[in-house]
Structure 1
Amino acid sequence: MFLYYLRISMHSMKRNPLLSGLMIVAIALGIGVSMTTITVYYLMSADPIPQKSSQLFAVQLDSWGINHPFDRDRPERAPHQLTYRDATALVAAKKAKHQVAMFESTLIVEPEKDKPYLSMLRVTSSDFFPMFQVPFLYGAGWTANDDERASQVVVLSKETNEKLFGGENSVGRRLRMGAKEFVVSGVMDTWNPTPRFYDVINGGFNEVADMMIPLSLTEPMELKSAGSDWGWKAESINSFKDWLNSESAWMQFWVELEDSMAVDDYKNFLDAYVTEQKELGRFERPLNNHLQSVMQWMAHNQVVREDNKVLVGLSVLFLLVCVLSAVALLLTHFLGKSEEVALRRALGANRLSIFGQHLVEVSLTGVIGGALGVLFALGGLQAIKYLYSGQGFDHLVQLDIFLVLFAAVLAWLASLLAGFYPSWKLCQESPAGFLKTQ
Structure 2
Amino acid sequence: MSGYYFSLALKGLRRTPWLALLMVITLAVGLSASMVMITLRHALAMDPIPGKSERLLKLQDPQVMQGMGGWVTYAQAEQLRRLGGGTADAVETGYGDIDGIAVGEHRIAIDGGLGVRYATADFFNVFDVPLASGRSWTREEERDAAPVAVLAQDVAQRLFPNASPLGRQVGVGDTLYTVIGVAGPWFPQPHYIDMTLGAFGVGGEGVFLPVTAVRYAPASMRIFQSMPRDHPQLCVPMELLASRCNWLSVWYLTPTPKDVWALTQSVRSQLPQLFPPEQARALQLSNVRQIVADVVPSEVDRGSWLGLVFLALCVVNASGMQLSRLMRGTSQIGIRRALGASRLDIVRQYLCDALLVGSAGGLLGVGLTFGGLYALRQLSLDDARYTVMAQMDGIMFVVMLLLMVTCSILAGVLPAWLASRADPALIIKVAQ
- Normalising by the smaller structure, the TM-score range is 0.7 to 0.9
* Counterpart for residue 151 of structure 2: 156
What SS does the corresponding residue of 1:151 show, helix, strand or coil? Answer: coil
1:21 aligns with 2:21: yes
Quick check: 2:376–2:388 contact (8 Å CA) kept in 1?
A: no
Per the normalisation by structure 2, the TM-score is 0.87
* Counterpart for residue 211 of structure 1: 207
After superposition, the Cα gap between the structure-2 partners of 1:37 and 1:238, relative to the gap in structure 1 and judged at 3 Å, is closer
* Counterpart for residue 304 of structure 2: 312
* Counterpart for residue 356 of structure 2: 364
Quick check: 1:104–1:121 contact (8 Å CA) kept in 2?
A: yes
User: 1: CA distance between counterparts of 2:10 and 2:419?
Assistant: 18
Q: CA deviation at 1:167?
A: 7.9
Indicate which of 395, 398, 418 corresponds to 2:391: 398
User: 1: CA distance between counterparts of 2:64 and 2:344?
Assistant: 67
The 5 Å alignment of 1:96-245 reads: 96-107=87-98, 108-111=100-103, 116-118=108-110, 119-166=114-161, 169-207=164-202, 208-222=204-218, 226=222, 229-231=225-227, 233-235=229-231, 237=233, 240=236
After superposition, the Cα gap between the structure-2 partners of 1:232 and 1:327, relative to the gap in structure 1 and judged at 3 Å, is farther
User: 2: CA distance between counterparts of 1:221 and 1:265?
Assistant: 37
User: 2: CA distance between counterparts of 1:217 and 1:223?
Assistant: 14
* Counterpart for residue 65 of structure 1: none
Quick check: 2:200–2:386 contact (8 Å CA) kept in 1?
A: yes
After superposition, the Cα gap between the structure-2 partners of 1:239 and 1:417, relative to the gap in structure 1 and judged at 3 Å, is closer
> Which residue identity does 1:31 align to in structure 2?
L
Gap regions ≥5 residues in structure 1? 63-68, 72-76
1:407 aligns with 2:361: no
What SS does the corresponding residue of 2:249 show, helix, strand or coil? Answer: strand
* Counterpart for residue 11 of structure 1: 11
> Which residue identity does 1:48 align to in structure 2?
P
* Counterpart for residue 39 of structure 2: 39
After superposition, the Cα gap between the structure-2 partners of 1:114 and 1:9, relative to the gap in structure 1 and judged at 3 Å, is farther
Q: CA deviation at 1:296?
A: 1.0
> Which residue identity does 2:291 align to in structure 1?
W
The 5 Å alignment of 1:265-414 reads: 265-277=262-274, 282-283=276-277, 285=279, 287-299=281-293, 302-388=294-380, 392-393=385-386, 395-414=388-407
Indicate which of 70, 73, 81 corresponds to 1:83: 73
Larger deviation: 89-98 or 419-428?
A: 89-98
After superposition, the Cα gap between the structure-2 partners of 1:81 and 1:277, relative to the gap in structure 1 and judged at 3 Å, is closer
Q: CA deviation at 1:35?
A: 0.9
Quick check: 1:98–1:255 contact (8 Å CA) kept in 2?
A: yes
Q: CA deviation at 1:290?
A: 0.7
Larger deviation: 329-338 or 251-260?
A: 251-260
- What is the aligned residue count? 422
User: 1: CA distance between counterparts of 2:104 and 2:357?
Assistant: 60
Q: Which runs of 4+ in 1 moved over 6 A?
A: none
Gap regions ≥5 residues in structure 2? none
Larger deviation: 176-185 or 118-127?
A: 176-185
Q: CA deviation at 1:322?
A: 0.8
What SS does the corresponding residue of 2:248 show, helix, strand or coil? Answer: strand
What SS does the corresponding residue of 1:198 show, helix, strand or coil? Answer: coil
Quick check: 1:367–1:408 contact (8 Å CA) kept in 2?
A: no
Q: CA deviation at 1:324?
A: 0.9
User: 2: CA distance between counterparts of 1:60 and 1:356?
Assistant: 59
The 5 Å alignment of 1:406-425 reads: 406-425=399-418
RMSD: 3.0
Quick check: 2:132–2:183 contact (8 Å CA) kept in 1?
A: yes
Larger deviation: 361-370 or 77-86?
A: 77-86
User: 2: CA distance between counterparts of 1:424 and 1:122?
Assistant: 64
Q: CA deviation at 1:379?
A: 2.8
Larger deviation: 190-199 or 29-38?
A: 190-199
What SS does the corresponding residue of 2:292 show, helix, strand or coil? Answer: helix
Structure 1, residues 227-248: CA drift from partner, whole Å, max 9, x if none? 7544451316486266655554
Identity %: 26
Q: CA deviation at 1:165?
A: 3.0
> Which residue identity does 1:375 align to in structure 2?
G
> Which residue identity does 2:206 align to in structure 1?
D
What SS does the corresponding residue of 1:154 show, helix, strand or coil? Answer: strand
